[in-house]
Amino acid sequence: MLRKLSAAFTGGVIGALLSSLLFWELGRNGVTAWMGVTLRPGLSFAWLYPRLVAGGLWGLLFLLPLLPSRPATRGLLWSLAPSAFTLLHVMPMAGRGLFGLGYGALTPALVLAINAVWGLTAAFWYRAAAR
């Protein structure tokens, strides 16, 4: 059980690292601005660290025995949880409205895509490391 717990948390952290770096790179290269989304994160420890911890905690969802033989489907399914939390709680609390539309009309698509990277990475890491 400890191996599975470690694999789930680590997969979540690695997924969070990759998705955060992708998000930063999209902002740095102007892709988010091109999309009409005003989010442009700066790469710093203070910005990255909470995302890594949260990614690891969200990764614990992979301990639930849902679709264990289909990691891609499982990763995309579990990526909906942090997406919903971000779009329905975090962004409204930040004053950007439901679904973060205050950042731009394509914000929900960006959040879903970034979290899909997290979910896929975490799912495949978990599958490889939990055996």
DSSP string over 17-42: HHHHHHHHHHHHTTHHHHTT------
The Cα–Cα gap between 124 and 27 comes to 26
pLDDT in tens, 80-118: 999 999 999 999 999 999 999 999 999 999 999 999 999
Whole-model pTM: value is: 0.95
Mean pLDDT, the chain, rounded, equals 96
Overall average pLDDT of the 14-33 stretch: 97
Angstrom distance (rounded) from CA 119 to CA 129: 15
